[in-house]
Amino acid sequence: MKTRLKIFTTVLSVLACCAFLQTMQAQLPPEIPGNPDGCYPAFTTAEGCNALHQLLGGIGNTAVGWYSNFLAGDASFNTSVGAGALALTSGLGSGQNTAVGTAAMILNLSGDSNVAVGSNALVNNMIAGANNGVGSFVLYNNDSSGAGLANFNNAFGAFALSSNIDGSGNTAIGDDALSNADASNNTAVGVEAGAGITTGSNIIAIGAGVSGVDSDLGELDDSCYIGNIFNQPVSSDAVAVFIDSSGKLGTLVCPNGNRVSIPASQASKPQAMSNRKIEQLQATVARQQKQIDALTAGLQKVSAQLEVSKPAPQVVTNKP
């Protein structure tokens, strides 16, 4: 709770700074007569206190809310809905962002092609691009170093990837998924999935609460953890992993480690095809063996006949 309160205080401080900026003459041209309120030239829509206040040459921007996309400048094709959303985004190249929610992408400067939906989503993203976040505080610290390395991240769920700073190529689905990670190319699906990952890369964690960390070895790059398969907590019962008839990965519990038969309805189609191929190969080998045996018997018979038909050896006697 203290952490969340601190975050809110920080965001409110930024909003306050915007509110007390020296009053400048609005750059928006007069509204187009005869159209609804908020309709401006160059495909521009602005509604709310100081929304798009400092728009210069940018086109196609839509800003709704208090100080929404305040310093737009020459940025184009941004959509911001919510108090302080995209407040600092400005300049050429900082376009095609969509921010919906109070303080969503409030600190963005020149990042482009980002999507942030949720209160405080992608708050610290400054120059990184191509990130997608849906949920409160999702990707909150993304690109807070300002290095622009934190690209191509996708997060869905409150606080998902909230600690990521410079990591890229991550996918987090579920509240608090990969919430402690600052790394790259990790995938976590499930509430708190991958919560144990901090700096590891290329790790897959699937299942609610699956940490993505080996209980004995810690973080292992290029590893995979799936709930109810890895470290299955079923006392002495073993777990058989198989592919069902629909091609999906599944498990069966084997009581006390005993072998069980997989029901026909769960039999693997790929495995069945493999078995048929093995049977066909075995049949082919059997036929070839019969042919070899027949050929060998024929050769032996011909050899015996040749031995019988040989003329008797003649004995020559030398006379004195």
pLDDT digits (tens, 9 = 90+) for 295-309: 888 888 777 777 777
For residue 80, pLDDT beyond 70: yes
Lowest pLDDT segment from 85-94, 99-108, 233-242: 233-242
Which DSSP letter does residue 286 get? H
Alpha carbon 88 to its chain centroid, in Å, reads 29
- Asked whether residue 238 is assigned to any structural domain, the reply reads yes
- Asked whether residue 290 is assigned to any structural domain, the reply reads yes
- Residue 2 pLDDT class (50, 70, 90 cuts): very low
Q: Which domain holds residue 282?
A: 234-294
- Asked whether residue 279 is assigned to any structural domain, the reply reads yes
Q: What are the beta bridge partners of residue 242?
A: 250
Q: What are phi and psi of 56, to 5 degrees?
A: -110, -90
Q: What is the number of structural domains in the chain? A: 1
Instruction: Report helix, strand or coil for 268.
Output: coil
Torsion-angle region of 277 (φ positive above 0: left; ψ -120 to 50: alpha; else: beta): alpha
What is the reported pTM? 0.69
User: What mean pLDDT is predicted for residues 143-172?
Assistant: 98
Q: Which amino acid is at 136?
A: S
pLDDT greater at residue 271 or residue 175 = 175
Distance CA 283, CA 275 (A): 12
- Asked whether residue 95 is assigned to any structural domain, the reply reads no
- Asked whether residue 287 is assigned to any structural domain, the reply reads yes
What sign for the dihedral angle of Cα 23, 29, 31, 33? Answer: positive
- Asked whether residue 41 is assigned to any structural domain, the reply reads no
- Asked whether residue 285 is assigned to any structural domain, the reply reads yes
- Asked whether residue 92 is assigned to any structural domain, the reply reads no
